[in-house]
Amino acid sequence: MSIFRFIKLINEDKPIILYGDGSQSRDFTYIDDIADGTINAIKDVGYEIINLGGGRNPKSINYVIQIIEKYLNKKAIVEYKPFHKADLKETWADIKKADKILNWKPVISLEEGLKKCVDWYLENKSWLKNIDLNEGN
């Protein structure tokens, strides 16, 4: 959800509330890759816990925002708040079992996935403008 929020907020010239300095990193994975991995997991492999994700390739929140800025050709307004003590500085998925058992690895890079998301947003923003990002907060 953060990717969509970032795209929408940057495009609408609204501030992104960022808890921490943005150096915290996440193992972002494009939805099509996750869907492919989930479909691959349908095969009978017995009981296994298998992680799907980017594969120990975390990228900082600042980097993600920079790439979105580039694709939107707009500068983000970022409002920094103190880092939340329950948050993690870095998260990533160990996908060795997914590769070995399911023959699965993500194929869409973060940059390509962000480009696809921005393009989709721009094509659909006429009806996306009514989505309230503060709802439920």
pLDDT tens-place string over residues 35-61: 999 999 888 888 889 999 998 889 999
**Alpha-carbon Rg of the chain, whole angstroms?**
17
Residue 137 has pLDDT above 70, yes or no: no
Q: What is the pLDDT of residue 43?
A: 82
Residue 136 has pLDDT above 70, yes or no: no
Residue 74 has pLDDT above 50, yes or no: yes
Run of H or E residues at 66: helix 61-72
2: CB partners within 8 A, 6+ apart: 61, 64
pTM exceeding the 0.85 threshold for the entire prediction:
yes
pLDDT band per the 50, 70, 90 thresholds, residue 29: very high
Question: CATH class for domain 2-128?
Answer: alpha beta
3-state secondary structure 3-30: HHHHHHHHHCCCEEEEECCCCCEECCCC
Mean per-residue pLDDT of the chain:
91
Task: For residues 52 and 44, give the distance between their C-alpha atoms in angstroms, rounded to a whole number.
Answer: 17
Q: What is the pLDDT of residue 7?
A: 96
